[in-house]
Structure 1
Amino acid sequence: MDAIKPGETFTYEFTATVPGTYWYHSHQKSAEQVDKGLYGTLIVEPKNEEKVDRDYTLVLDEWMSDPDAESHMDMNMSGMDHSNMNNGNSSDNQQMDMNSMGHNMNMYDIFTINGKSGAAVQPLKVKKGEKVRLRLINAGYMSHKLHLHGHEFKIVATDGQPLKNPQPIKDELLNIAPGERYDIEFIANNPGEWLLECHGNMKGTDGMKVKIQYEGQANNTDKANAKENLPVVDMTTYGKYETGPFTLDQKYDVEYTMDLGTAMGKNGMIFTINGKTYPDTAPIHVKTGDFVKVKIVNNSPMDVHPMHLHGHFFQVLSKNGKPVTGSPLIKDSLNVNPGEEYVVAFKADNPGNWMFHCHDLHHASAGMVTEVKYTDYKSDYTPDPNDTTNKGE
């Protein structure tokens, strides 16, 4: 489709067939437009939904208090030697990761939940005994590790897809990468006032917290502790194992290796798939009905790549060579840390041309995009060669 120009309209019509927590956003100069807030949530409720007493949607994002300051900084990272940098995943390395992207993440100094920060975030009201669902959506560029204080919780869905027999966990961090969604549920069985807060050492971390207030309980029983060292939930071992739609050793019609990399371009950092930047990246060619296996390898020294596939869900089969031992993990976005390797599989059951890209939209706009292209699909869209306004990224 063409970009929607000022004053124009475009109508989407679709049947909401897959229940879950989703969001929509601009894909026209997305690193700029999503950054300025051009997105919204899309909640698809099942016909026979399991009842919860409270259902809250929380959108995480980051903002710059001084957008002009960014342009005054030297964003060309050509003098930086990536070869000798540690690629661990501690908070310090997260800080390095934020600096290494050619788009300085330190500029994002305000973290928000539903567009508000700190004390301005609307508290979540609960009553004792209620079942509470929180739908968590990361619309920003940074991963956020969330800690629910004072309660056990279950992770019941990721990217809109349910998890099998999720077990209750407590005092573990849930890491939500850009583009990802997680639904968690808990029983409000511990009256008082508690926090759901982001952990980390970035400048805006303290603003990303929300109070959970029991009705009739005015006293503050909880304190923020964003530096507390807690384990992070490993989604590849969470929930109950059962065979999903795909296995590692079945026959696949298409196999593709996606080598994610970082390099210096003429105008700063570029982010590559198999050494190329979009539109020169090799597409994944499929035909309707194909079983497709993709190996995703992050060879960037420090950059985290949350990879997102449009139009399909994939099953995560293995991480670093080890098969998934928890619930079948069905997602459309997968966070890949430096040095990590995942194998995912999906069925080509939605004909079209679909983006498969990094959901750090700065990385996507600097090249980290490919497409799933159906060879038996003919698009009725013809781009206007004279229209230079389309920046589909």
Structure 2
Amino acid sequence: MKKWLLGAIFAGIAAIGAACSNPSSMQGHDMSNMKMNKEDVSAETSKPQLPFATNTEVLSGKDIHLTAKEALLPINDQVKLPVYTYNGSVPGAQIRVKQGDTVKIVVKNELPEPTTIHWHGYPVPNSQDGVPGVTMDAIQPGETFTYEFTATVPGTYWYHSHQKSAEQVDKGLYGTLIVEPKNEEKVDRDYTLVLDEWMSNPNAENENNMNMNGNMDMSGMDHSNMNNGNHSDHQQMDMGSMGHNMNMYDLFTINGKSGAAIEPLNVKKGEKVRLRLINAGYMSHKLHLHGHEFQIVATDGQPLKDPQPIKDELLNIAPGERYDIEFIANHPGEWLLECHGNMKGTDGMKVKIQYEGQANNTDKTNAKENLPVVDMTTYGKYETGPFTLDQPYDVEYTMDLGTAMGKNGMIFTINGKTYPDTAPINVKTGDFVKVKIVNSSPMDVHPMHLHGHFFQVLSKNGNPVKGAPLMKDSLNVNPGEEYVVAFKADNPGNWMFHCHDLHHASAGMATEVNYTDYKSDYTPDPNDTTNKGE
């Protein structure tokens, strides 16, 4: 039934980036209708049918309306890009609800193509997971669909298209979901910051990568970091199919803006400030908070036990990941939260932190400063989590992540197979499941994301986790790394487990967690070719 989904769960065969500082590659990613060069801006912005994207609205309550539609996004004072939006902005409207709320989200599709919404990281009922051809039919242009679920688990999450998602998410079709806990420790300021990358001149990619004879031209790619062996700092190159390099992505954004266009974060002396950091892009980004100690209080929405204060360390955020950090505004002045790296767009991913009523001194920054990266496997207070390495498990599965050349370019495999031919993880409700994830790819980074569940990270490269119990739904796996994770099969359904470099997933790196004691009420229409599930 799913043979026609080959490459499907996400569209476009491609491979992209590993780090703020690194080039990488992608194939079959047609950006021509979404990213444009500066010469095209005036012509594109003259089209009256495209409203300008505006600042993100916050939606709360139990009945929420989202409209997927086209708009123009002013990245900065020079570049406006045609994008896909929810309610006219990138990121789309923030959904903010209370733990225990039952929410209904009515989605209207005003795009020229089908779409869906996946609630990334949230344990919704399987029927609400938003994967066309697996859990629902795609929402056709002009149609509406109502998602309904109970907000049981507090934390920071996001939502995005799961239909041709390698293209639609890249066009800006994502937003944030915040579930406030019943007994939340209050903070004085609560900011959500969404990271992404854009291409201002997509038409240059073919000129840059192909020479007159049709041979690949590697001269435009930065190879300086390919062989330094420091995978933990993500300084290797993700070449994929060698058809595209991430140097084309020259605009890095926070909340859809770049550089001076990013709104400052205002604080007052003595306030407790929370920053919710979400990576909606395809590159990992290393962020540096200047001038303050901070604590990492949650990852992927899940709280961390007794997080210790840290300062002048980089927080590496991979595609799909979320980190909540908190700091006390005890150092008046003007400071930055900035990305470190050496790609062209890096300098645009920084936001000012301004103290109200205080003289602002200019923060002297160095985005290439050599700082350590926080090791999440040793962070926080150690204690036994819900799972251990040596307990008995009902299901054990090894996930060997690899690459190979297919008929149409590079493919990305799990145990030598591409989806839908990858072997699923078959479970029953209540099973304890252990998965070993091994990245055998020579250069490609794979941020692996599990739908519908949280897993505990038990070990890295054979070494048990020594920090606080690390519960996640997205895990970045560098070349040569091996992780062991575990989860309980407590949410019946058919769930995707895939790389969140969505171009890797579209080229095969996906499998499913299938409950053998679950029968879905959904039957895909074999005649509906729009159910791409991507």
Distance in 2 of aligned mates of 1:278 and 1:77: 35
Correspondence for 2:314 among 152, 170, 173: 173
Distance 1:85-1:58 versus aligned 2 partners, 3 A rule: closer
Distance 1:84-1:194 versus aligned 2 partners, 3 A rule: closer
Residue deviations 1:323-345 (CA, integer Å, cap 9, x gap)? 00000000000000000000000
Kept in 2: contact 1:253–1:290 (CA 8 A)? yes
Distance in 2 of aligned mates of 1:16 and 1:196: 31
Residue deviations 1:202-235 (CA, integer Å, cap 9, x gap)? 1100000000000023433302311000000000
Distance in 1 of aligned mates of 2:212 and 2:389: 39
Distance in 2 of aligned mates of 1:17 and 1:107: 41
Residue deviations 1:234-266 (CA, integer Å, cap 9, x gap)? 000000000000000000000000000011111
Distance 1:82-1:197 versus aligned 2 partners, 3 A rule: closer
Distance 1:147-1:374 versus aligned 2 partners, 3 A rule: same
Kept in 1: contact 2:241–2:409 (CA 8 A)? no
* Match of residue 168 from structure 2: 33
Kept in 2: contact 1:62–1:111 (CA 8 A)? yes
Residue deviations 1:267-322 (CA, integer Å, cap 9, x gap)? 11111100111111110000000000000000000100000000000000000000
Distance 1:99-1:296 versus aligned 2 partners, 3 A rule: closer
Distance in 2 of aligned mates of 1:222 and 1:294: 45
Distance in 2 of aligned mates of 1:264 and 1:83: 25
Distance 1:383-1:83 versus aligned 2 partners, 3 A rule: farther
Kept in 1: contact 2:240–2:410 (CA 8 A)? no
Distance 1:283-1:169 versus aligned 2 partners, 3 A rule: same
Kept in 2: contact 1:201–1:227 (CA 8 A)? yes
1:67 counterpart SS class: coil
Q: Which moved more, 1:24-33 or 1:264-273?
A: 264-273
1:91 counterpart SS class: helix
Distance in 1 of aligned mates of 2:315 and 2:150: 31
Residue deviations 1:354-375 (CA, integer Å, cap 9, x gap)? 0000000111111111000000
Q: Which moved more, 1:380-389 or 1:187-196?
A: 380-389
Uncovered stretches (5+) of structure 1, i.e. residues with no partner:
none
Distance in 2 of aligned mates of 1:87 and 1:115: 33
Kept in 2: contact 1:64–1:107 (CA 8 A)? yes
Distance in 1 of aligned mates of 2:330 and 2:169: 38
* Match of residue 295 from structure 2: 154
Distance 1:111-1:346 versus aligned 2 partners, 3 A rule: same
1:302 counterpart SS class: coil
Distance in 2 of aligned mates of 1:200 and 1:99: 21
Distance in 2 of aligned mates of 1:299 and 1:83: 22
Distance 1:268-1:379 versus aligned 2 partners, 3 A rule: same
Q: Percent identity?
A: 93
Distance 1:277-1:113 versus aligned 2 partners, 3 A rule: same
Uncovered stretches (5+) of structure 2, i.e. residues with no partner:
1-135, 215-220
Residue deviations 1:83-130 (CA, integer Å, cap 9, x gap)? 996372369964622676644222111000000000000000000000
Kindly report the root-mean-square deviation, in angstroms, between the aligned alpha carbons of the 2 structures: 2.6
Distance in 2 of aligned mates of 1:19 and 1:171: 29
Residue deviations 1:134-169 (CA, integer Å, cap 9, x gap)? 000000000000000000000000000000000000
Distance 1:185-1:99 versus aligned 2 partners, 3 A rule: same
Distance 1:246-1:215 versus aligned 2 partners, 3 A rule: same
2:344 counterpart SS class: coil
TM-score by length of 1: 0.95
2:203 counterpart SS class: helix
Distance in 1 of aligned mates of 2:229 and 2:243: 20
Whose RCO is larger (CA < 8 A, sep 6+)? Answer: 2
How far residue 74 of structure 1 moved from its aligned partner, in angstroms, is 4.5
Kept in 2: contact 1:154–1:166 (CA 8 A)? yes
Distance 1:291-1:3 versus aligned 2 partners, 3 A rule: same
How far residue 387 of structure 1 moved from its aligned partner, in angstroms, is 1.1
Distance in 2 of aligned mates of 1:31 and 1:153: 33
Correspondence for 1:304 among 440, 445, 450: 445
2:237 counterpart SS class: helix
Distance 1:328-1:90 versus aligned 2 partners, 3 A rule: closer
Distance in 2 of aligned mates of 1:164 and 1:92: 25
Kept in 1: contact 2:436–2:482 (CA 8 A)? yes
Kept in 1: contact 2:163–2:533 (CA 8 A)? yes
